[in-house]
Amino acid sequence: MSKADLAAVAQRLYERFMAPLVLGGDLAPGPAIGGKRALLLDGGTAAVDPDVRSSVDVARVRIARRLVPLDTIDDPSAATWALGAALHDMIHAMHPDMGGALHRSAPEKLLTFASQVIDHTRAAGSLAEAVSRHTFFSRMFEIARTDTLVSWWTGSRRFLGTEPPPRLVAWPDVRKVHVDRTRVQLVELLGTQHVGRQEMFRSALAAFLEKIPLTDLATCNRPSPAFVWTGASLGLFATPNGRALGLRALALGPSADVDASLGRATLRHVKAKAWADIARIGDVLADRALAAALTEADASLASGARETNADAHYARSVGATYAIAKVASLGVHESVARRVTARLMSLAQTGVTSEQVGASMESSPLSQG
């Protein structure tokens, strides 16, 4: 494969997929890249149009500034190119024409190629790399396809991701044309696939998300795939800087929805008795509870506690329970500490999940010394 071919692939991937993923606009995947070429796209930035690259960089900095103050951002690394190519093929695999009579297994092959590429890609080795990857893929769950159903007096036709030809919408009054447009989100596109393919896609997507932990945390309130605590996301909280980035990423989403997702993920670990992870999860949740207790007013705290669902309650309760032990180490004034402790205790004693919290605490090896 010549460098020129790779440059063309990189340019097409960047300008028609990765750039719109950052800037917004039309996302036009295709043709498929494949696993081999995906791993050879490092340095493909040189082939990209400088104006497009400049616009993308500005937008990436803006995205990164939501998490960390910085002025410049690095070009995409080889891993980022590979992940981009993998996502490209994953999206392309859901093309409605893919899996037709002549290429029935094409979607599975593409998904396999994508999974291979994802497997080849190591986890972000630094926070800068994690931020860099996040800047490209932070909006991936906003991908939507507009399906247009055009019905006229003699029939109808559906256009998926394409505009209907003008001739079909001409003379709308005479031909009684009705155009119905529907936006289908990325996760809903999975439902258009058959079950096996859906499972492959979810698996590939989960693996993909594990390579971009910041995006995983920032979009944890997504309906699908459900957020789960992974080694990558928990590893992010292992360092103070990573913890700060991770908490900021969690704070990007609606608090109640984020708590609900975290609660579900935490409960899964509790049920699985993954105690080591639960301690780390507890720390994360404790930081969120402390932040809420220190900043939110009593009224909003109480109303939030009443309105969120059981999963959110669970996350807050776990966090409050772990946070009470941390109040003394905050170094705040005694009156503030008392007030914070009272708030945390009110969260921790929320009736719905107190028993569960107690049971989880009692059975934790940590509590058993």
Partner 1 sequence: MLDRIALHQTRLHTPGLGLDAKGVALGAKGLVLIPTVDRLVAWLSVYTQDRSLEDLLASLELRFVRSPMGTQEITLTFAAESSDRMDRVSETARLVGAFTFTGTSRHYVQYRDAAAPFGYDATELLATDAAFALYHDRFSQTYDAGKTVDLRALLLRLMPHVDPRTVDEPGMRYIVAEEGLGAALIHYFVRSQVDGEVTLAEWPPEGAFDDTPVRRYVVRVPELPPRMRSLMRTTPGLTSFVPAGPGVAVELGYRHPVQLRACPVFDAGGLVLLRGRGDEPWTLPKMPVMGDLRGFARVTLRDQEPRATSVARVAREPDPVRVTLRLVPSSAPWRNVTASAIPTAALPLLRRLAYALPSGALKDTRVALTDRGAFLTCPHGIEAIPLGTFFIQVHPGLYTPAGLDVVPKVAPEVLYRALGSPSGHAVFISHDGAALAVPNDAFVPLETVILEAKSWEPATAEIIELALTEEPLELTLAPVGVFPLAGTAAAPALPDAPKELGPAHEQG
Q: Which residues bind partner 1 (CB under 8 A)?
A: 20-21, 23-39, 42, 62, 77-79, 82, 89, 91-92, 95-98, 102-103, 106, 109-110, 112-113, 116-117, 119-127, 129, 139, 142-146, 160-162, 186, 235, 238-239, 242
Nearest CB to partner 1, comparing residues 145 and 343: 145
CA separation for the pair 68, 71 (Å, rounded): 10
Smallest gap from residue 238 Cβ to partner 1 (A):
3
CA of 354: how far to CAs of 82, 170, 220, 260, 317, in Å? 45, 63, 24, 16, 7
Smallest gap from residue 359 Cβ to partner 1 (A):
30
Nearest CB to partner 1, comparing residues 75 and 296: 75
**Dihedral, 164, 167, 169, 172 alpha carbons, nearest 10:** 180
Fill in the DSSP letter of residue 62: H
Nearest CB to partner 1, comparing residues 19 and 168: 19
Contact 223, 240 (CB under 8 A): no
Residue 78: how many CB atoms within 10 A of its CB? 16
Contact 211, 232 (CB under 8 A): yes
Long-range contacts from 93-96, C-beta under 8 angstroms, 24+ separation = 93/32, 93/197, 93/201, 94/189, 94/190, 94/192, 94/193, 94/201, 95/29, 95/30, 96/160, 96/161, 96/192
Smallest gap from residue 226 Cβ to partner 1 (A):
22
Residue 260: how many CB atoms within 10 A of its CB? 22
Smallest gap from residue 77 Cβ to partner 1 (A):
6
Dihedrals phi, psi of 43, to nearest 5 degrees: 85, 5
SS3 202: helix
Nearest CB to partner 1, comparing residues 21 and 347: 21
Nearest CB to partner 1, comparing residues 36 and 338: 36
Smallest gap from residue 185 Cβ to partner 1 (A):
10
Nearest CB to partner 1, comparing residues 83 and 301: 83
- Stretch (H or E) spanning 186: helix 186-190
Nearest CB to partner 1, comparing residues 117 and 289: 117
Smallest gap from residue 144 Cβ to partner 1 (A):
6
Smallest gap from residue 352 Cβ to partner 1 (A):
34
Nearest CB to partner 1, comparing residues 34 and 164: 34
CA separation for the pair 40, 81 (Å, rounded): 8
Smallest gap from residue 353 Cβ to partner 1 (A):
30
* Owner of token pair 């921790």: 348
